[in-house]
Structure 1
Amino acid sequence: MDLSPDILTRGESAVLTLRQLYEGYGYRRYRIEKFEPYDLYRENRNFLNEETAITFPDSRGRLMALKPDVTMSIVKSYEPGAGSAKWHYAESVFRRGRGGDFREIRQIGIESLGGDPLYAQAEVLLLALRSLAVFSGDFVLALGHLGLLARALEGVPLTEAVLDCVRHRNLHDLMRLIGEERAQPLARLMRLPQEPVRALEAIREVFPDRGAEKELSELEDLCGVLEASGLGGRLRLDFSVVQGLDYYNGLFFQGFVNGLPRPVLSGGRYDNLLEKLGKPSAAVGFAVYLAELDALFRDGPRPVDIALIDECPDLRAVLGRVDAWVREGLRVRVCRTRAEAGGAASVRRIDAAGEIREEGRS
């Protein structure tokens, strides 16, 4: 029996569409174990967010962790000497939240390790935009650059307190922390026009003599590629979506879908993690948070095509008739009473003699 698209939920169909998209660009499926020794996460805690791993001892006394992160597992298995690697995954990770509650976080995403950094970033950004388009026609990818943020501050440490002001566009507290004059370049980055072309012009005006040509050229190249793809209108330059300093070292971005309160996609360039694990290479990727998209996938109860009220003692006759309908691609439910047939497109009855008659809709 062929797998008909209408058998899948909208969420399942979206995941399969994304997997096909990523496979088309040469990304291979990566599968992870649900748990592994905790040492990897203990030694790299600064690359995880504030949530902590869920741990337990195994039969040999080793401390194990339910997988709190996919990227770290992929990087652990990466061998730079073998060349570049491109992986996609659809996995759950498990974390302990701030309140101590356990969380399962369903993700689908890609990681591109090694290879040409500029091409990898362009490809990953394009796939991020196309991933968002799978879920909605009304979305935005907000893009920033940690290198430009650092240059805007001219040596002011990028502390979490400073970044928190940037994330919340809190100029008042930013000026209090670093002074009004030093905050001005960053304040201008926080007030960029929406259109990428005008935003790039405004960014160039912030850095006339700050040695930011490399970062500016990279950002302009990437925006140009996305504009040529036809998706430039969905791109916004927005430095308020800056993420972890320990994790990201250049490009960072988040994806938003209209009507949903939180980002549904997050990613960036994370060479720092590979450097920390002794595998110096360029690395960029993103994850789509499927739980954030659940509101788009609330499929109602799926109606059956035929509800068959069974009054026949001949089990073979009943099952044979049901099997024939199923082979035709119909959804069938056998029930004892008409009350159980609610929602069916057609209600039929098989009597004691094995005869079937139509009873209309439920």
Structure 2
Amino acid sequence: MSQKLLHTPEGVRDIYGREYARKLSVENSLKESIRLYGYEEIQTPTFEFFDVFSREIGTTPSKELYKFFDKEGNTLVLRPDFTPSIARCAAKYFCEEQVPLRFSYMGNTFTNTSNLQGKLKEVTQLGAELVNEPSMEADAEILSLVIRALLNTGLKRFQIAIGDVEYFKGLCEEAGLDEETELDLRALISGKNYFAAQELLQERNVEEPYRSRLLKVADLFGDLGSLSGAGAMACNPRSLSAIRRLEELYSLLKLYGTADYVSFDLGMLSKYRYYTGMIFKAYTYGVGEAIVKGGRYDKLLQQFGKPAPAVGFVMVVDSILEALSGQNIEIAVTEPPRKLYYRPGDYREKLAEAQALRGRGISAALIPAESGGVSNE
């Protein structure tokens, strides 16, 4: 047999033994935290029709999707992102529901990119979505849930950066940017390519002071006080309304007792275009990218026929495990199975012992003595 068959493709890997036990432990901890907030589990397919993740939906770029065809010729994709799938499912089965809907989920997502930089193409994500809830209280619930869930894994040194895409959109509107320029600028700023952003604004003849304001968005981060500077820079009601919402959100987080874990970043702009308001990312030591991402998406469900506001988040389990390992945080795992070695003459006795252990909830494995390194003498 070819040795190549023993290896995995680039960007995926096997997980087994104690490492997998640690992963299961973290997953169970996160799922329990979400359950305590009243969220019910839902499962969606690993692959969907291409249109669920199309450009119009505002999700992952087509070139980063794993695409294939079914026998009818339909284009299918492995899910790169859970939120559109949950939106589709909510629109299909809960179209007439007006009460708040709380969904939670877990599974693997797939991104077909050659620019790995240490990232995996297949990762496990776990998250929650709150549908039919437009309130600031819903935003505060989602953020506090994320913080409590991370704390329950053992992480202590992390920060939630919160922004609002409406602030940036208000500045773009004030500057008279068309949609194409706004999207191009958004991509450059979210990618931290500020020189290219400056060139773009010059090419599109964006005048001062609007050009400077748009470029300064990246510097608008920090504690609650940073919002005052952001408010002073904006001269339009859309951006100012976003600032007021963030200030109100902070007051609610203080009621939850979680405000110490948040900061603000008005230069935060997601590649997912379906976000319509508050967005956030969680960062911690030892991991170069966000371990949690989320935000409000009040127009996404409308794409599937259900006009409804919604807010949610996704946690990257693999990144959280990396952080826990890098910070030397112990993860409680179940004890390995008790190994009971038997010989032909004492099998009945060892079987009874194993059954007794299993009856007490203790894992037990029966092993022939000659295969387990135990002498028969």
TM-score, reference length from structure 2: 0.75
| Aligned counterpart for 1:282 among listed residues 293, 309, 315 | 309
Q: Tell me, what secondary structure is at the counterpart of 1:9? A: helix
Q: 1 CA distance for matches of 2:139 and 2:312?
A: 8
Give the length in aligned residue pairs. 337
Residue 144 of structure 1: aligned partner: 163
More deviation in 85-94 or 140-149? Answer: 85-94
Q: Does 1:316 align with 2:342?
A: no
Residue 57 of structure 1: aligned partner: 70
Inter-CA distance 13–41: structure 2 relative to 1 (3 Å threshold) = same
1:143–1:236 CA contact under 8 A, matched in 2: yes
Q: 2 CA distance for matches of 1:217 and 1:203?
A: 11
Inter-CA distance 234–187: structure 2 relative to 1 (3 Å threshold) = farther
Residue 344 of structure 1: aligned partner: none
Shift of 1:108: 0.7
More deviation in 69-78 or 186-195? Answer: 186-195
Q: 2 CA distance for matches of 1:82 and 1:220?
A: 31
2:22–2:332 CA contact under 8 A, matched in 1: no
Residue 190 of structure 1: aligned partner: 218
Inter-CA distance 173–48: structure 2 relative to 1 (3 Å threshold) = closer
Q: 2 CA distance for matches of 1:37 and 1:170?
A: 33
Shift of 1:54: 3.3
Structure 2: stretches of 5+ with no match in the other structure:
1-17, 203-207, 326-330
2:39–2:102 CA contact under 8 A, matched in 1: yes
Residue 29 of structure 2: aligned partner: 17
Q: Tell me, what secondary structure is at the counterpart of 1:271? A: coil
Q: Does 1:263 align with 2:290?
A: yes
| Aligned counterpart for 1:35 among listed residues 24, 44, 47 | 47
Shift of 1:61: 5.3
1:132–1:257 CA contact under 8 A, matched in 2: no
Residue 210 of structure 1: aligned partner: 236
Cα RMSD of the aligned pairs, angstroms, is 3.6
2:129–2:313 CA contact under 8 A, matched in 1: yes
Q: 2 CA distance for matches of 1:325 and 1:90?
A: 32
2:369–2:376 CA contact under 8 A, matched in 1: no
Q: 1 CA distance for matches of 2:200 and 2:243?
A: 27
Q: What's the CA shift string for 1:142-168, capped at 9, x where partnerless? A: 111111112234233453442244235
Identity %: 21
Residue 137 of structure 2: aligned partner: 119
Q: Tell me, what secondary structure is at the counterpart of 1:144? A: strand
Q: 2 CA distance for matches of 1:38 and 1:193?
A: 37
Inter-CA distance 201–304: structure 2 relative to 1 (3 Å threshold) = same
Q: 1 CA distance for matches of 2:125 and 2:296?
A: 18
1:80–1:114 CA contact under 8 A, matched in 2: no
2:142–2:312 CA contact under 8 A, matched in 1: yes
More deviation in 128-137 or 264-273? Answer: 128-137
Inter-CA distance 233–302: structure 2 relative to 1 (3 Å threshold) = closer
Letter in 1 for 2:142: V
Inter-CA distance 276–90: structure 2 relative to 1 (3 Å threshold) = same
Structure 1: stretches of 5+ with no match in the other structure:
1-5, 342-348, 353-362
Once the two structures are superposed, the pairs formed by residues 149-168 of structure 1 within 5 Å of their partners are: 149-153=168-172, 154-155=174-175, 156-157=177-178, 159-168=182-191
Q: 1 CA distance for matches of 2:102 and 2:253?
A: 20
2:57–2:303 CA contact under 8 A, matched in 1: no
